[in-house]
């Protein structure tokens, strides 16, 4: 028996672009043939890890700065609870507690005073964070931290 009479019918193969000599796109790029979903996930994971590291470092540095400020009467009891990217690492949301039993108006005034000190606090952060641009800080009162006294 010959190979052509093996009982199989010959199928016609579609002509690939390699045989025709025409690439499917005008230019080849290094990322051609890779699953873009995997690439975005890997980038997102690295970015989130960097953001978490930055927030942790900012939390530590702001806690030290607020400890220095605590010498002043108005800043006594202020503490940083959490730092989060909002919406990304170029702007950080800083959650603070005011300590003690303070009224809401007084607590909001303290947060406004902290916001006014943003430039000096960003300078403090710049001394330890190796970034081209130090993130903006947006101070907010931590939920449930205001006493009713």
Domains and CATH numbers, the chain: 33-141 (3.30.300.20)
pTM (2 d.p.): 0.64
Residue 74, pLDDT > 50, answer yes
Q: How confident is the model at residue 56 (pLDDT cuts 50, 70, 90)?
A: very high
Helices (H) and strands (E) in the chain, counts: 4, 3
Q: Please enumerate in sequence order all residues whose Cβ is within 8 A of that of 126, keeping only pairs 6 or more positions apart, or say none.
A: 134
Other Cβ atoms less than 10 A from the Cβ of 96: the count is: 22
Residue 119's closest CA among 106, 95, 103, 135? Answer: 135
- Are the C-beta atoms of residues 64 and 109 closer than 8 Å to each other? no
């Amino acid at each position: 028996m010959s190979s052509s009479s093996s009982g199989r019918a010959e199928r016609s193969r579609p002509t690939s672009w390699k045989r025709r000599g025409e690439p499917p796109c005008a230019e080849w790029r290094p990322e051609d043939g890779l699953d873009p979903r995997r690439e975005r996930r890997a980038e997102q994971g690295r970015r989130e890890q960097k953001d978490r590291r930055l927030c942790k470092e900012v939390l530590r540095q702001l806690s030290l700065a607020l400890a220095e400020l605590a010498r002043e009467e108005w800043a006594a009891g202020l503490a940083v609870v959490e730092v989060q990217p909002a919406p990304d690492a170029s702007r950080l949301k800083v959650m603070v507690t005011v300590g003690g039993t303070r009224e809401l108006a007084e607590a909001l005034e303290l947060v406004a005073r902290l916001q006014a000190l943003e430039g000096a606090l960003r300078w403090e952060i710049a001394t330890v964070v190796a970034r081209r641009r130090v993130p903006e800080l947006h101070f907010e009162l931590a939920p449930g931290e205001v006493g009713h006294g």
